Amino acid sequence: MKKIILLTTGGTIASRRNPETGLLSSGVITGEELSQMCDLPDSINLTVQSVLQIPSNQMNGNRLYKLKHTIEEIFQNVDVDGVVITHGTDTLEETAYFLDLTIEDDRPVVITGSQRGPEELGTDAFVNIRQAILTAVSPKAKKIGTLVLFNERIFSARYIKKVHASNVAGFFSEGYGYLGIVDQEHVSIYQRPCLRESYSISNSFPLVDIIPSYLGSDGRLLQASISSGARGIILEGSGRGHVSPELVPFVEEAGKKGIPVVITTRADEGEVRHVYDFPGSVYDLTNRGVIVGKDYDSKKARIKLAVLLAANKQIEEIKESFLI
């Protein structure tokens, strides 16, 4: 018999309609209630443990650490085959990538959620939980890091992104696709990540800001980030990673203060690279100490930079890590 631990954190997947407003209240249905509706095979021994009961817009660094430590404690039991986490969809991709970078165990960690509440017509809550559990018991899901199961598809945590606000096919990996599928009882993995990173973190989750560059943007937001104590900054540029030239002096200021700055692109696909030479180009920024964010989107780059800082990595080590 396979032993799976289901960790609940709230979200739409645990929501119930508020009779006074007619709107959903997230995180009010227990994991025990949800699991009883999933028609699991008798070969699976499921234990439910509530970690949080929140909408995922309330997820923060301290709660990420709590979830991480809970998983590590569970994996001290060699009889556990895997962990499944239910999570709100708004920040699911960020939590998934944090765990991917910080959980070293080879056993599966699978995160899922739903776009429709359990009591709504056409809910995806129960099928997503069921298929996440089936993924977690599959030997094929071992040694590939934290996974996301959504709408029958299995995704890598690094590239998963919420691409639709409400549709049940709400998640995808632009440019890379999904790793596999769950078809009724059958789990299939068609591709696996070539590399897997894992970092031991000892410090609290550091303050890392995302600063977008847009047509006509100036340096006010970047200046505010620097002056308010940010430990790291993600610049979300356009195209190949270009920013407004008005941001450049503040990029230099961040460098002088020892604050690592990573440049990403707001484009859904493609990499940040040296292609152009003008003020605010990637070439210009890297000459001023900015770290190239390759194909990371801004949210994933923020999680990675925060993890690297919490792991006490220095600037050169951070640069190397973002090349992976």
Q: Taking Cα atoms as reference points, which of 122, 193, 124, 121 lies closest to residue 155?
A: 193
Q: Which residues, in sequence order, are bridge partners of residue 180?
A: 154, 189
Structure tokens at 85: 């986490």
The DSSP bridge pattern shows strands 161-162 and 109-112 to be unpaired
How many Cα atoms within 13 Å fall on the side-chain side of residue 231?
19
Q: Which residues are catalytic?
A: 12
Residues constituting the chain: 324
Residue type, 56: S
The answer to whether 86 and 31 are in contact (CB under 8 A) is yes
Tell me the residue ranges of DSSP E strands in 125-281. Answer: 146-150, 153-156, 161-162, 171-172, 180-183, 186-189, 208-212, 232-237, 261-265
What angle is formed at CA 270 by the lines to CA 276 and CA 159, rounded to 5 degrees? 145
Q: Provide the token pair at 50.
A: 């509530």
Residue type, 255: G
Q: What is the separation of C-alpha 231 from the centre of its chain, rounded to a whole number of angstroms?
A: 20
Are residues 235 and 262 in contact, defined by beta-carbon separation less than 8 angstroms?
yes
- The C-alpha atoms of residue 226 and residue 220 are separated, in whole angstroms, by 10
